[in-house]
């Protein structure tokens, strides 16, 4: 399920977008300002962002610029003003994927979202910003950090890191010993056939609750190994803590989440629609 993050200070528009996309199998988080926006980006994988350029106290273009420099997530900008062509160009040049003016039809809006979500070639720079999320673990490729809430940071050798990347890029695909041997090569070092077994053993000890009964890295007898877990990929960086306080908002600021036709109203309540 694709996760769409919407930032708009118009309650009715947030409600409309969240309700419409939720009914079409999207997970939607709707927020009112950059403080809440950054909180979501720090804690969850987001597939697409919708930014209203007219946020009252805040500059939507600045939000677009900041996000585009830190993430590869598609950005659709919306505006209620009749902007000049030059202003639309600025939004696109700052990193927006698309622009749509209010009022707009929801079918057209959905079509633009689907187009923006189509898989695009990953640039080497974006590839370095990948965050792999699996079984309570997060692997930050750029920082070469493997972290979980329970175990904290776990150190990986270069060979272990390369091998784990190979598994995470092709979850549940059986990878032969030859494929894993090639993937685990470290520049300037010789590796042998037994190196794969050693790396597998070490990774199991670091990832598995019970390495003798592995649930993540499993053996496919006579063929190789496969990684048996759901893997999510996001593109981002370690967001600076100061970004959380860039806007003076009370800690109880509302955040709404909708998924699968249900809304968690514990943090935010939309007004009843007639």
SS3 labels along the chain: CCEEEEECCCHHHHHHHHHHHHCCCCEEEEECCHHHHHHHHHHCCCCEEEEECEECCEEHHHHHHHHHHHCCCCEEEEECCCCCHHHHHHHHHCCCCEEEECCCCHHHHHHHHHHHHCCCCCCHHHHCCEEEEECCEEEECCCCEEEECCCEEECCCHHHHHHHHHHHHCCCCCECHHHHHHHCCCCCCCCCHHHHHHHHHHHHHHHCCCCCCCCCEEEECCCEEEECCCCEEEECCCCCHHHHHCCCCCCCCCEEEEECCEEECCCCCCCCCC
Residue 56 lies in a domain: yes
Q: Residue 273: what pLDDT?
A: 38
Sheet holding 232-235, edge to edge: 152-154, 145-148, 137-140, 130-134, 232-235
Number of independent structural domains in the chain = 2
Residues 71-121: pLDDT tens digits? 778 999 998 765 566 677 788 888 888 988 888 899 999 999 999 988 665
pLDDT attached to residue 19:
95
Q: How high is the pLDDT of residue 72?
A: 78
| Mean pLDDT taken over the chain | 79
Note whether residue 175 is domain-resident: yes
**Span 137-191, pLDDT tens digits:** 999 988 888 999 888 899 988 888 989 999 999 999 999 888 888 877 754 444 5
What does each C-alpha distance from 35 to 39, 102, 124, 149, 213 come to in angstroms? Answer: 6, 24, 30, 24, 43
The verdict on 135 and 231 lying in the same domain is: yes
Domain assignment present for residue 161? The answer is yes
Average pLDDT over residues 126-130: 68
Query: What pTM was computed for the model?
Result: 0.50
Listed residues 65, 94, 117: the one ending a domain: 117
Residues 151 and 89 in one domain: no
Q: Which domain covers residue 153, as residue numbers?
A: 130-235
* pLDDT at 121 (0 to 100): 55
Domain harbouring 90, CATH code: 3.40.50.2300
On whether both 168 and 229 belong to a single domain, the answer is: yes
Same domain flag for 67 and 95: yes
| 6-10, 182-186, 255-259: range with lowest mean pLDDT | 255-259
272 part of a folded domain: no
My answer on whether 94 and 153 are in the same domain is no
């Amino acid at each position: 399920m694709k996760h769409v993050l919407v930032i708009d200070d118009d309650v009715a528009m947030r409600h409309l977008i969240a309700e419409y996309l939720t009914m079409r199998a999207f997970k939607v988080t709707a927020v009112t300002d950059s403080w809440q926006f950054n909180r979501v980006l720090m804690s969850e994988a987001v597939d697409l962002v919708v930014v209203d350029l007219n946020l009252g106290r805040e500059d939507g273009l600045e939000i677009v610029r900041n996000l585009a420099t830190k993430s590869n997530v598609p950005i659709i900008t919306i505006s209620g003003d009749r902007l000049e062509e030059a202003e639309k160009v600025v939004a696109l040049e700052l990193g927006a994927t698309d622009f749509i003016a209010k009022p707009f039809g929801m079918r057209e809006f959905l079509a633009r979202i689907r187009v923006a979500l189509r898989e695009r070639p990953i640039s080497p720079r974006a590839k370095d910003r990948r965050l792999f999320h699996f079984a309570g673990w997060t692997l930050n490729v750029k920082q070469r950090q493997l972290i979980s809430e329970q175990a904290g940071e776990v150190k990986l050798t270069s060979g272990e890191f390369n091998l784990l990347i190979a598994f995470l890029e092709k979850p549940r695909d059986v990878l032969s010993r030859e494929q894993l041997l090639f993937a685990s090569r470290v520049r300037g070092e010789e590796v042998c056939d037994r190196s794969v077994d050693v790396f597998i053993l070490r990774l199991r000890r670091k990832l598995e609750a019970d390495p003798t009964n592995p649930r993540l890295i499993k053996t496919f007898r006579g063929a190789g190994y496969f990684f048996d877990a759901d893997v999510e990929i996001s593109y981002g960086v370690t967001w600076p803590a100061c970004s959380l306080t860039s806007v003076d908002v009370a800690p109880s600021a509302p955040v709404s989440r909708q998924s699968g036709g249900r809304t968690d109203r514990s943090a935010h309540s939309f007004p009843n629609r007639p």
